[in-house]
Structure 1
Amino acid sequence: MTIPRDARITLDPEEIPKRWYNLAADLPEPVKPPLNPVTKEVAKPEDFAPIFCKPIIQQEGSMERFIYIPEEVREALISLNRPAPLQRAYRLEKYLKTPAKIYFKREDQSPLGSHKGNTALAQAYYNAESGVHTLTTETGAGQWGTALAMVSNMFDIDTTVFMVKGSYNQKPLRKTLMHLYGAEVYASPSEYTEFGKKILKEHPDTSGSLGIAISEACEIAVNNENTCYALGSVLNHVMLHQTVIGLETMEQMKKAEITPDYMIACVGGGSNFAGFTFPMMAEKIRGRSETEIIAVEPKAAPSLTEGEFRYDYGDTAGLTPLVMMYTLGSEFIPKSIHAGGLRYHGMSPLVSAAYDQNLLTATAYDQPETFEAGCTFAKTEGIVAAPESCHAIKAAIDKALECKSTGEEKTIVFCLSGHGLVDLYGYDQYIAGTLQSSSVDV
């Protein structure tokens, strides 16, 4: 048997990217600067000092096109199974009877279960170098909290995680993983912070939100010495660190002579989407690519497809700087869905700017149809995808079926941002017919 050369495209460890790519350097129109949450004037670097360490603040405002990855971080990326394979979905293609070629980038093979370790490593490294001994953070479905909890052990840092209550109750094994890695985990809103107590008093039955959890984590960072906040998505430095995904993918497509018609990724705050697509977006800006880049969000939190492009807080309490983004409003609390990592009221300023400048398109799906796509993927490729990743799978399937209808042999590449082996409750609900719609009227 001859195995097709594009069945699984791999890179050697020495081919892990040496530099991160910064889209801010190439956008036709620059991102508008963040604003101080109190004065509403353009934020100065010192305005971020209460929550972030100095190297992170420098990267957040950087306009350099490429930033070198510290060797210690680059070597540690190997332990996260980088470089990650690019794989052909032959059995899915056959099942769909489509002439399209479908490839997927395998971020699910990290021991952490998702792409989140790429920025967790970098942030833990820079905070340790800055003398920080404790990191606080939020997490939705738990992938980010798991990643930060694990890599913090590499740098002798303690971690406190505020997990959105809806996911905290739905995904008990995520809590187990974070506890296994040594983190403290609180359901958000919690009694551990003043803001958490305020929300619980006003909304005792709330399922929480990422905006609330961010506020709680920031409150702890502001009020405790040698403690900083680590963010799993949204801000520029997080998008930067995740570009190892797209840089690897570009090299793999070059090796296999793949020219994508579509690049697709799920999007909540923007991290896996940005990491996967920004290097290709640079090619579009330079006129060297006609690839359509598609962001896929849940109908429970449709910030790109239904939100407004304006300044808004990144959290619910208004502790963070205001950023220019597509937003549903910082006080918006989405329905509780299994794709907890996508339950955010706003969108990365860089992703938002790229969307506003027509560098990408966006679509939104209801929860049941994404789980249907996930079940199809599991039956054909044998991989149980994270509920978040099922959004990208759904869009890829839809494009493949369009090709079936038209007869076009297009190439589809999507990001499998994580596995769903601790998200089986959602699949169980879908199979039993009890999974609820996530649509929301905005």
Structure 2
Amino acid sequence: MKNQKKFILEESRIPTHWYNIQADMKNKPLPPLNPETKQPMTAEELSRVFAAECSRQELDTQNRWIDIPEEVMEKYRYYRSTPLVRAYALEKALDTPAHIYFKNESVNPLGSHKINSALPQCYYCKQEGTTNVTTETGAGQWGAALSYAAKVFGLEAAVYQVKITMQQKPYRSSIMRTFGAAVTGSPSMSTRAGKNILTLDPTHPGSLGTAISEAVELATITPGCKYALGSVLSHVTLHQTIIGLEAEKQMEMAGEYPDIVIACFGGGSNFGGIAFPFMRHNINDGRNTEFIAAEPASCPKLTRGVFRYDFGDEAGYTPLLPMFTLGHGFKPANIHAGGLRYHGAGTIVSQLIKDKMMHGTDIPQLESFDAGILFARTEGIIPAPESCHAIAATIREAKKCREEGKRKTILFNLSGHGLIDMPSYDRYIDGDLQNYTISDEEIIRNTEGLYKA
């Protein structure tokens, strides 16, 4: 069909396996370490906090393909496949020879890609006899997804939401409560970690690091409870590869293959989800697709962070992870892309950055909203503030194509819609937002003393 706009797979063509890039990586990620012994963590040790099957997937560097359980496939069919869309109007507005495609993960009932991992994590917990799950959330997409998935599989959910983001996006916590979850702003007085943080800084706005600390603590002291994570760890990214595996088939339907793949970057789940299935062809088949992770300029762990073993949370409850980090004590600026305000990068992405298989780019807050407004006015979709970073990076590349007279095919992941983020857009339109930067001195101060990888 000439000028076909959307490419949608039939249900029979939805992938039935996740792709584990660790099996193909020439340099495997360094292992997570027990913070007390500094020895590699075992799956048994990880399963004290996470579902046992997720713990096995986390450390699996051998199996390229992991079966998606039929019970999870059944729930995936509620909303998958998601459309691959050609952004004709955006191309016209930019006067670019580039062909721009986006994978629209905003169309599922929860509004973002996060449900792709929430469902299997809750399924594995239920199969293993768990009765409760706990988690953290930044902007609230993950908290909403986990709250729904917990209800689907008959689990009780408790969510710690970053306090400043809870204030910025009040309807996210309303969604979680609608699905039956208990929601608490972090840092709180309900855990030892939260009390300690508030004692040192009574006005602490919260971060993903503080919320993780509280959620992990609750999981370790509550019988029948496991902790579920929405990004960063390898098993989460594994579940998200359903995005890129679908996109691969849909790009074939469009008769094109991406020269550039882009996604916003917080901990790495949606970036890995869209990028890793295509990256396997760079590794195994000699392709030379470029992979760009778009992060906030106020939280630049990929471009300005240091590679160290660091905790995934502020209180130091998690394993030590080999990551590019700004330090687990980093207090991020109160930008409106709450899902990207995380201090570190996942272990797989960190290794891929070291191996120059991909790179990051920093997006100032105002540029991200400029891009989101243009996308809304051309393609008719108001993107999540997180997704605006991917759109901004895409616009940069499309303009470069125009300046150089090159026609490249660009694919980006629209990880979620922004219909519950309208107060952020109001502030942008009213001129009340600003850019934030972090100094070199602050990065050095926050990363001093970290365990060298």
Same fold (TM over 0.5): yes
Corresponding residue of 2:66: 67
Corresponding residue of 1:164: 162
Corresponding residue of 1:297: 295
TM-aligned CA deviation for residue 439 of structure 1: 2.0
TM-aligned CA deviation for residue 407 of structure 1: 1.5
Corresponding residue of 1:15: 13
Corresponding residue of 2:437: 439
Corresponding residue of 2:3: 4
Q: State the Cα deviation string for residues 110-164 of structure 1 (Å, max 9, x = none).
A: 1101000000000000000001111000000000000000111111000000000
Q: Secondary structure at the match of 2:401?
A: helix
Q: Distance in 2 between matches of 1:319 and 1:47?
A: 13
Q: State the Cα deviation string for residues 358-408 of structure 1 (Å, max 9, x = none).
A: 110110111111000000000101100000000000011111111111211
1:45 equivalenced with 2:11 (yes/no): no
Q: Distance in 2 between matches of 1:426 and 1:262?
A: 29
TM-aligned CA deviation for residue 3 of structure 1: 4.8
Q: Distance in 1 between matches of 2:7 and 2:42?
A: 44
Q: Distance in 2 between matches of 1:289 and 1:331?
A: 39
Corresponding residue of 1:254: 252
Corresponding residue of 2:391: 393
Q: Pick from 399, 408, 411: which aligns with 1:410? A: 408
Q: State the Cα deviation string for residues 31-63 of structure 1 (Å, max 9, x = none).
A: 111100221112122221321121111111112
Residues 3-402 of structure 1: pairs in structure 2 closer than 5 A: 3-5=2-4, 7-63=5-61, 64-79=63-78, 81-402=79-400
Q: Distance in 2 between matches of 1:318 and 1:75?
A: 37
TM-aligned CA deviation for residue 184 of structure 1: 0.5
- Identity rate of aligned residues, in percent? 50
Q: How many correspondences in the alignment? A: 439
Q: State the Cα deviation string for residues 276-323 of structure 1 (Å, max 9, x = none).
A: 000111110114311101000001211100101111111111111101
Q: Distance in 2 between matches of 1:288 and 1:105?
A: 24
Q: Is the 8 A contact 2:302 2:359 kept in 1?
A: no
Q: Secondary structure at the match of 2:165?
A: helix
Q: Is the 8 A contact 1:89 1:103 kept in 2?
A: yes
- Stretch moving more, 240-249 or 253-262: 253-262
Q: Distance in 1 between matches of 2:83 and 2:379?
A: 15
Q: State the Cα deviation string for residues 69-88 of structure 1 (Å, max 9, x = none).
A: 00110110122x11111000
Q: Distance in 2 between matches of 1:59 and 1:287?
A: 25
Q: Distance in 2 between matches of 1:102 and 1:359?
A: 22
Q: Distance in 1 between matches of 2:437 and 2:376?
A: 24
TM-score of the pair, normalised by structure 1: 0.98
User: Which letter does structure 1 place at the counterpart of 2:282?
Assistant: K
Q: Secondary structure at the match of 2:77?
A: helix
User: Which letter does structure 2 place at the counterpart of 1:156?
Assistant: G
TM-aligned CA deviation for residue 260 of structure 1: 1.1
Q: Secondary structure at the match of 1:286?
A: helix
Q: Secondary structure at the match of 2:50?
A: coil
Q: Distance in 1 between matches of 2:85 and 2:2?
A: 13
User: Which letter does structure 1 place at the counterpart of 2:126?
Assistant: A
Q: Is the 8 A contact 2:137 2:162 kept in 1?
A: yes
Q: Deviation above 6 Å: which 4+ runs of structure 1?
A: none
Q: Secondary structure at the match of 1:332?
A: coil
Q: State the Cα deviation string for residues 245-298 of structure 1 (Å, max 9, x = none).
A: 000001111222112111100011000000000011111011431110100000
- Stretch moving more, 251-260 or 411-420: 251-260
Q: Distance in 1 between matches of 2:40 and 2:409?
A: 43
Q: Is the 8 A contact 1:50 1:221 kept in 2?
A: no
Q: Distance in 1 between matches of 2:48 and 2:197?
A: 23
C-alpha RMSD of matched pairs (Å): 1.0
Q: Which ranges in structure 1 are unaligned for 5 or more consecutive residues?
A: none
TM-score of the pair, normalised by structure 2: 0.96
Corresponding residue of 1:427: 425
- Stretch moving more, 279-288 or 110-119: 279-288
Q: Distance in 2 between matches of 1:416 and 1:35?
A: 34
